[in-house]
Amino acid sequence: MTSTTQFSPSLGTQASLEPLRAKWGWVVALGIVYLLAGIVALGSVVMATAVTVFVVGMMMMVAGIAEVVSAFQVQTWGRFAFWFGLGALYIIAGFATFENPLLAAVVLTLLLGIALIASGVVRVLLSFSMQDGMPWIGMCASGVITLLIGLIVLAHWPVSSIYVLGLFLGIDLVLAGASWIAVGLGLKSP
């Protein structure tokens, strides 16, 4: 299969950015929406936590329904039972988040704190195995910061469950919004 079109290995070539340059205003608008949503989330971190738990519950239910539907595609009874059971557990967990969102927030915050600690430790260990000339100090600093955030989350757990998920959501939305605005404005200027 041959093609007359030459593809550039660089993602930032002028030709590949032209369709995006025409839509730079939409990219900035998306960034503004993200930024405003992040500010609203930071203004009410408890409500943002509730929204986060609701979204996680919805995703669990959708994944559970997909698993149950997929179970009917499986050829053997053992695999059918496994997939169907897994899907049913996802659906039950989704309903449980709606039934008791505070408990769901507590569990999710605990899992988040553990994941942050594990991620931080792994990054620190990986930074010491990096070869000379690679930016190992940045990786190590990132790992230490992530580890400390995880320790802070767990040190204040379960009380932190009320606000941590909403706080992280708000911060993420603000940073994503600022990034999209910067990308959009960068696309505007040639």
**End-to-end Cα distance, the chain:** 35
CA 22, 25, 30 angle in degrees (round to 5)?
125
Q: Are 113 and 149 in contact (CB under 8 A)?
A: no
Task: Tell me the pLDDT of the chain (190 aa) as tens digits.
Answer: 444 444 444 555 566 767 777 788 888 898 899 999 999 989 988 888 888 899 989 999 999 999 999 888 887 888 888 889 999 999 999 998 999 888 889 998 999 899 989 998 998 888 888 767 677 788 888 889 889 988 999 999 988 888 888 888 888 888 888 888 888 888 777 6
Rounded to whole angstroms, the Cα distance separating 108 from 50 reads 12
Task: Give the pLDDT confidence score for residue 7 in this predicted structure.
Answer: 45
Helix or strand holding residue 98 (H, E): helix 77-99
Residue tagged 């997909």 (tokens)? 66
Q: Report how far apart, in Å, the C-alpha atoms of 27 and of each of 36, 55, 173 are.
A: 14, 24, 15
Structure tokens at 106: 């507590």
